[in-house]
Amino acid sequence: MFCNLCLLQFMSDSYVGNLSRDVTENLILQLFTQIGPCKSCKMITEHISNDPYCFVEFFEHRDAAAALAAMNGRKILGKEVKVNWATTPSSQKKDTSNHFHVFVGDLSPEITTDDIRAAFAPFGKISNAHRIGQELEG
């Protein structure tokens, strides 16, 4: 697990999919360099029946992460693009780039899981809430 975390820190390649056929490498570079300096962009348009996609390589991991956060789901020439980490087929996993864990400590014993959900609900979808120790209490 440590090695996988180390590799993630150095990932700087992004996959950009669901592109309009009118999107060019130059347009992608214009948009993505506003987030951070790009090393390269490679557009793949070889299949007529499939939407084009591209790989954008950043110099810095933090810029690639910022691009993923800023551009995923944005519309470019009328199509909602998908931005994710570029991976090899053997390492593709479910996208967890929008999954976050929050630890809240020093809670009063009266606080329930429902209370936690209610407190955090205004900030977005909650996939799971768990109060450690609640199952041990009365």
Do 58 and 9 lie in one domain? The reply is yes
Six token digits for residue 98: 């929008």
Does 95 fall in a domain?
no
Does 37 fall in a domain?
yes
CATH number for position 17: 3.30.70.330
pLDDT in tens, the chain (138 residues): 334 433 444 477 999 999 999 999 999 999 999 999 999 999 998 767 678 999 999 999 899 999 999 999 999 999 999 999 987 654 545 666 666 777 777 788 888 888 888 888 888 888 877 777 654 444
Domain residues for 112? 101-138
**For 120, left (φ over 0), alpha (ψ -120 to 50), or beta?**
alpha
Do 105 and 78 lie in one domain? The reply is no
CB distance 31 to 73 below 8 Å: no
pTM given for the model: 0.57
CB distance 53 to 18 below 8 Å: yes
In the chain, the number of structural domains is 2
Residue 63 buriedness (CB in 10 A; 0-12 / 13-18 / 19+):
buried
Do 79 and 118 lie in one domain? The reply is no
Do 71 and 113 lie in one domain? The reply is no
Q: Is the dihedral of CA 77, 80, 84, 86 positive or negative?
A: negative
